[in-house]
Amino acid sequence: MIAYLALENGQWFRGEAAGAAGETSGEVVFNTSMTGYQEVLTDPSYAGQIVTMTCPEIGNYGVTEDDEESRGPQVAGFIMRESSPVASNWRAEGSLADYLTRHHIVAISDIDTRALTRVLRSAGVMRGVIATGPNEPAGLVEKARAARRMEGSDLVLDVTCPAPFDWKGGTVDEEFQVRPERRSKRRLKIAAYDFGMKWNILRRFDAYGCDVRVFPATAPASELLATNPDGVFLSNGPGDPAALSYAIGNARELVKSDVPVFGICLGHQILALAMGGQTYKLKFGHRGANHPVKELQSGQVEITSQNHGFAVDPDTVPSDVAVTHVNLYDGTIEGLRHATKPVFCVQYHPEASPGPHDADYLFKQFMDEIEKRT
Amino acid sequence: MPKRTDIHRVLVIGSGPIVIGQACEFDYSGTQACKALRAEGLEVVLINSNPATIMTDPEFADRTYVEPLTPETVAAVIEKERPDSLLPTVGGQTALNLAVALAENGTLDKFGVRLIGAQIDAIKVAEDRLKFREAMREIGMEVPRSGYVRTLAEAYQVTEEIGFPVIVRPSFTLGGVGGGIAYNIEEFREVVGRGLDLSPVHEVLLEESVIGWKEFELEVMRDGADNFVVICSIENVDPMGVHTGDSITVAPALTLTDKEYQRMRDAARRIIRRVGVETGGSNIQFAVNPADGRMIVIEMNPRVSRSSALASKATGFPIAKIAAKLALGYRLDEIPNDITKLTPASFEPTIDYVVVKVPRWAFEKFPQADRTLTTQMKSVGEVMAIGRTFKEAFLKAFRSLELGKSGRLFTQEGTRTAAADDDGVRGAEEREPGEATWEADEDRAALQRALSVPTDRRMWAIFRALAQGWTVEELHALTKIDRWFLTQFSQLVGLARSAAVVGLRGMSSDALRALKRAGFGDIELAGILGVSEAAVRESRTSAGLQAVYKRIDTCAAEFESFTPYLYGTYEEECEAAPTSRPKVIILGSGPNRIGQGIEFDYCCVHAAFALREDGYETIMVNCNPETVSTDYDTVDRLYFEPLTFEDVSAIVERERSAGGDVACVVQYGGQTPLKLAIPLQDAGVKILGTSPDSIDLAEDRRRFADLLWGLGIPQAPSGTATSADEAHEVASGIGFPVVVRPSYVLGGRAMAIVYDTAALDRYMATAVTASPDHPVLIDKFLEDAFELDVDAIADATGAVVIGGIMEHIEEAGIHSGDSSCVIPPYMVPERHLHTIREYTRRIAKSLKVVGLMNVQFAIKDDVVYVLEVNPRASRTVPYLSKATGVPLAKVAARVMIGKTLADQGLTDDLDVAGVFVKTPVFPFMRFPGVDTILGPEMKSTGEVMGGALAFGPAFAKAQLAAGHRLPSEGYAFISVNNDDKPNVVPIARDLRQLGFGIVATRGTAAFLRAHGIHADIVFKINEGRPHVADEILNGKIQLVVNTPLGRESFFDDRTVRRTATLHDVACITTLTGAAAAVNAIKALKAEALTVRALQDYHQVARTRS
Ligand SMILES: Nc1ncnc2c1ncn2[C@@H]1O[C@H](COP(=O)(O)OP(=O)(O)O)[C@@H](O)[C@H]1O
Ligand SMILES: Nc1ncnc2c1ncn2[C@@H]1O[C@H](COP(=O)(O)OP(=O)(O)O)[C@@H](O)[C@H]1O
Ligand SMILES: [Mg+2]
Ligand SMILES: [Mg+2]
């Protein structure tokens, strides 16, 4: 079946329907990772976004429950150059095409994804619409222009958990996880804000010997602290951090408290805002598994997994907060640490999945932080 | 960590001659390294015995030694040049082994030379399979179970636990020669026996087989600060059991989940750390069990490799260049990414296209060779193709192979015949009985065999099977090729089938678009649809379908690319952005093959350098990932595309679209671009230099004979035949023996010397398919004639400068590419040299040659004959350029754009200061059962050069460089045919004087004794034991002189030659060669060999003129 992708800048592409039939809109972004399409699809940080994979052959190894980063796909839509007719891998439980259809994800394939990527790179990410079946492109362009904007919109409420729950191991296939350098001396208690948390973060905590209680994004900080956790964690998530006044407020309290705090991605941005910094929208964001990040103290370069459209403005970082990591592509801030408080956070994804495991040490760092004081 | 300050003068070791398993990828990496080091202001001292390399051009190093790659010579260079550092990681296995040898014999310490890039311990852990296995166990990596054995008995024990099949690897044989797979006890006895026998230390490693597992490679880099990146992942389409060099491979890996891939990445990082490669690139090979994902490590190469060259071309990340900088102490994040400029090299390239590499074999040259693909590499070259999808890249790769009809995947010719050129030369298989036709469903058993036993032709069998309705499951069961790839193939076959059903007429433009997007070439479609290529192009263009070009940018378009490194595809947006500058498009030579190798790439690169210097925009088109020509640094714009009419004319059109004059160089890439000359010209493309008509005149034996006749230049009587009967007439007309061959071939393809009618019939019946458009050429064979090669340059004013006259050591009848040759000539009287120069000028003028021209002469009974003329770059141009110090290919390129020779200060014929001998190297070692005897069909894969101030030492060096250590004492075995007996006497006498004992077969011995030369008698193979071969094995014989008994050459002396070659006992098969060898042995005994830099030779030459 034929399908169209229309962009708010008036451009449109004609291709093949590659998932559920229907129509969808969202912010069109691109991801340059060559593996891990299922992890990408199920990463809640992609809520409200239509993701283009720049790697042309997608779906080759199918899908498997083990690779879910949340309950099913979270993207608003999916774009591929070539969608695999078969799933060929011993881990596969089904084909990508069926998976997308089953989960009502509208997708398009067989379009010039490189041309699309170049548009997004030079004009910046923009809203778009995918529609399957015969259609009037001009009309779809109008729909794209009418779609919801990322700036100022709170998408966290759509993806956070309804009520607190304790993470029970979940599916961890030991052989595919980095073996932790050491586990915590005793089981540690972590209270985590779920802004759209990737499950691999929880799996990593578990691997390091931490029990995690997950709280809804809107839970007051006091509720988390009441469980007197060894540490508090702020997860990744979708959308504009500046729109999350409640989360920022809670973060402020956490920073005041002397509990060790660790944040990833959106969690990092929220902490930055809480500590007095500001965030801004990147032209086309960082989405992929090959971004070099330098840890400033050691000078070591980590190849990192990234997925964010906003970043912390270096000029607004308060004097009592130090920049610990920078992105070697564009010099943007990738990590912060409070000078006096046990608070640190990174913009990228140490839990990987998909992507390299270079930054896994950050979980250990958090554990050290905690054990230093208990 | 900024650049180290303690490095000033670096010795770089090249990889020597082109051999199977070590080809021009090391010229690419070595050249990059030299450039990078000098850009850092360091002095570079280079040693490499291969004159056909760019890296040995005097301007790429401060001191350039074209000398044998032996510990002794390298030590001599070190003593003379006193480098403070040695970079051993860009010259393949050869350079690593030399580095180890020099470290162990104390040379490095003695002269205070430090290794950079890789340390001895690291090299040893990686190269010594036992050490490596232990190291892997330490870090918890799985490796195949294995054990070393020194006897069959021990071997049996080990297999008890390992079981069959078992992988056999002889220790310390070059490129794992003699290794293999044993599936049963018989094969086991044979393979292990051979292995123990061939291993200098009589030891083999037996290894648990994981045949059928998926094979992957990671190209990784590490810097001095332990930063680590994966440059490229490569997946082998052919599973474990077929050497990666013989496998069709694809980048990126396509069938691994992120979890599996990251596990492999983590493993690679642990491995490179444990092995201890401090800085640089490494290649790590893994096997993955498709059933449960179990992953084991196969090996690691702590250096740049064939795969890293492929990875560099596939991603745009120049591994060798970066490795060189890392060796100097830089960190990855201190080095900018060439292509994006703004981002650093400390990242992992991500690609938004698919790359497919396909090997090219040369079995048609070795009919007796076993075509089965195993753990030992057999291919001589490869092509790489880039497409937006696997299907597109795959089909582009197959059309890049230039296999003509036999390359077609969807039509009968292709899937039925064996690999062969498109010159009416027949492939071996084609003659095999019992093969049914395409329609009548081929004998299932035969097809099953073709599928389950991997050979160079398996992919065609797969497509044949799919066309006959075999299922992916059936094919997977037999080939173990991943279902994903097989599914892609079946989709292609499906597309072809439905296309055939609709036909070109009824085809919608959408359908045609789908086919072009899937990678189908116009010719391929023409074959499928039963129409002409023109017709397909016609409907394609009228449907507005035309290739666009995308950039290779290392980052999947995340950042802007400043480097026009392009590939063609059928998409919407074109990024070619051509300029309006005057442009020259240089057509490369495609995959390396015997007869068309690195020499032609060398010439193309020189054309690019010269024209770039002269302000032209240079554009390269080529599809060989090993080469310097496909380094985006070499030209202004690089199109990594197949060299077919369709692909090339599309590029020309695209480049024209921006205005600006576009011209083409077709004379530098060997036959590949020559075949396109006339079609391109007809399509209105401007061809630089000698006109395609003149080229055709020289290639067309009939027209050419008339020309020579008109010029009054003698040529061996000749004629052409388009049928067996005609052949009879011609042959009897000129009289036997005759040389027969198809027209338009390079490297003497399918060429033979025929002594009688019966042999002629056999040839006509089996070797060629004669037809009006593929006539068979028949020449009188000039027996015992001297042969000479001449390269000359002529300009538009008719001026001609002769680059050099090269005298062949072996007589005419042995292909020019296979015979050693020497400049200046040392046995030809001046009056003949004069005639040769005179003829050369006459021919150049009458052919209106503008650029390079190569002429081959034969001298018999004081008459100078012309054998052939090639108005184009030849195999000897690089060798001659190194000898004379004049870059002939550059000079000729400038001539082609209108400069005169005088403008370039060239008025007199060139001169050399010294004696330079070129000697070929052969792949016989790799092909058990193949005769090592030489003939008019070229068999060598590469060449070396030896230089000195006299012939003896120069020849000795060349021999040494080619791997033959001439003995200085011991016993010489002499066995020659009757014609040669008189002339062998002086040689035998000299050998005696040099203190050699002589053993000979009865006949020869009697003859020698009759001439007062003492000779012991030894049994022929069939006369009893111990016979010659036994004596060779027992080390009783150090030199073999054996001229075959021509036509009825007995199997007997063939065994002798093989035994000698395999146990590298110098084996000489011609009297002239023997005379030269004696000469060289004299020299060796007289004084030790000394080394001399090209720059010094050239200095002298310059001051002289
Ligand atoms: N244990 C094994 N079982 C099956 N095939 C193997 C095994 N080890 C190696 N091979 C095959 O042999 C090829 C060459 O082996 P490798 O160790 O890479 O030697 P080389 O140094 O010649 O590359 C590999 O590419 C692989 O296909
Ligand atoms: N008439 C001949 N007499 C003797 N040897 C010949 C004759 N013709 C060709 N040869 C031998 O065959 C070799 C290959 O022939 P050539 O015409 O050079 O083919 P190619 O185009 O492959 O180089 C020559 O190098 C020469 O040694
Ligand atoms: Mg290997
Ligand atoms: Mg020739």
Confidence of residue B783 (pLDDT cuts 50, 70, 90): confident
A 297-326 residues with CB < 8 A to B: 299-301, 303
The catalytically annotated residue of A68, A265, A291, A325 is A265
Helix/strand/coil for A326 = strand
Please state the pTM of the whole predicted model.
0.96
Confidence at residue B113, expressed as pLDDT on a 0 to 100 scale: 98
Degrees, nearest 5: CA angle A21-A26-A32: 95
Contact criterion met (CB < 8 Å) for A290 and B349: yes
- How many angstroms separate the CA atoms of B1019 and B662, rounded? 67
Distance of CA B915 to the CA centre of its chain: 26
Contact status, residue B936 vs residue B716, Cβ threshold 8 Å: no
DSSP letter assigned to residue B244: G
Per residue in B308-367, pLDDT (tens digit) is 999 999 999 999 999 999 999 999 999 999 999 889 999 999 999 999 999 999 998 998
Separation between Cα atoms, residue B50 and residue B806, nearest integer Å: 17
B255/A contact by beta carbon, under 8 A: yes
CA atoms within 13 A on the CB side of B513: 13
Q: Output the pLDDT for position B19.
A: 95
Mean per-residue pLDDT for A82-103? 97
**What was the pLDDT predicted at B331?**
96
ipTM summary value: 0.97
Active site residue A351: yes
Q: Give pLDDT, residue B175.
A: 63
Q: How far is CA B289 from CA A92, A148, A297, B252, B295, in A?
A: 14, 47, 41, 19, 6
**Which strands, in side-by-side order, build the sheet including B85-87?**
B63-65, B43-47, B9-13, B85-87, B114-115
pLDDT of residue B746: 61
**Which range, of A55-69, A344-358, B912-926, B1063-1077, averages the lowest pLDDT?**
B1063-1077
> Is B355's Cβ below 8 Å from some Cβ in A?
no
- pLDDT score at B702: 82
Residue A356 above 70 pLDDT?
Answer: yes
- Digit-coded pLDDT (tens) for A187-246: 999 999 999 999 999 999 999 999 999 999 999 999 999 999 999 999 999 999 999 999
Q: CB neighbours of B829 closer than 8 A, spacing ≥ 6?
A: none
Query: What's the pLDDT at B1051?
Result: 46
pLDDT, averaged across chain A: 96
Q: Which residues pair with B220 in a beta bridge?
A: B230, B282
CA of B536, closest CA in chain A: separation in Å?
23
Asked whether residue B437 carries a pLDDT value surpassing 70, the answer given is no
Please state the separation of Cα B168 from the chain's center in Å.
26
User: Which amino acid residue places its CA nearest to atom 25 of ligand 1?
Assistant: B243
How far apart are the C-alpha atoms of A359 and B445, rounded to whole Å? 54
pLDDT at B1052 exceeding the cut of 90: no
Tens-place pLDDT, residues B53-103: 999 999 999 999 999 999 999 999 999 999 999 999 999 999 999 999 999
CB contact under 8 A, B550 and A114: yes
Which tokens is B20 given? 């199977």
B416-445 in b/e burial notation, b at 16+ Cβ within 10 A? bbbbbbebbbbbbbeeeeeeeeeeeebeee
State whether residue B561 sits within 8 Å of chain A by CB.
no
Ligand 3: centre distance to CA B283 (Å): 8
Residue B816 in contact with ligand 2 by CB distance below 6 A: yes
Q: Hey, is the C-beta of B516 within 8 angstroms of any chain A C-beta?
A: no
pLDDT band, very low/low/confident/very high, at B425 (cuts 50, 70, 90): low
- For an interface test with B, the pick among A90, A96, A99 (most B C-beta atoms closer than 10 Å) comes out as A90
Instruction: Tell me which residue has its CA closest to atom 13 in ligand 2.
Output: B815
Ligand nearest to the CA of B216: 1
Residues A349 and A43: their CA atoms lie apart, in Å, by: 11
- Looking at residues B581-608, what average pLDDT do you find? 97
- Of ligand 1's atoms, which has the minimum distance to the CA of residue B245? 25
**Residue A223 DSSP class:** H
The per-residue pLDDT for range B481-525, each reduced to its tens digit, is 999 999 999 999 999 999 999 999 999 999 999 999 999 999 999
Contacts of B229 in chain A (CB under 8 A): 303
Q: Each residue of B937-996: pLDDT tens digit?
A: 999 999 999 999 999 999 999 999 998 889 999 999 998 888 888 899 999 999 999 999
Contacts of B266 in chain A (CB under 8 A): 178, 357
Determine the Cα–Cα distance for residues B808 and B789; give it in Å rounded to an integer: 8
Contact residues on chain B for A290, CB-CB shorter than 8 A:
347-350
Q: State mean pLDDT over B553-575.
A: 96
d(CA B957, CA B965): 9
Residue in the structure block whose two tokens are 């006044």: A245
Q: Which residues make Cβ contacts (< 8 Å) with residue B847, sequence separation at least 6?
A: B690, B694, B697, B698, B707, B853, B869, B871
- B899-906: average pLDDT: 97
User: What is the structure's pLDDT at B745?
Assistant: 65
Q: How many secondary structure helices (H) and strands (E) does chain A include?
A: 10, 19
The alpha carbon torsion through B1071, B1074, B1075, B1076 (nearest 10 deg) reads: 130
A300–B352 C-beta distance less than 8 A = no
Of ligand 2's atoms, which has the minimum distance to the CA of residue B738? 1
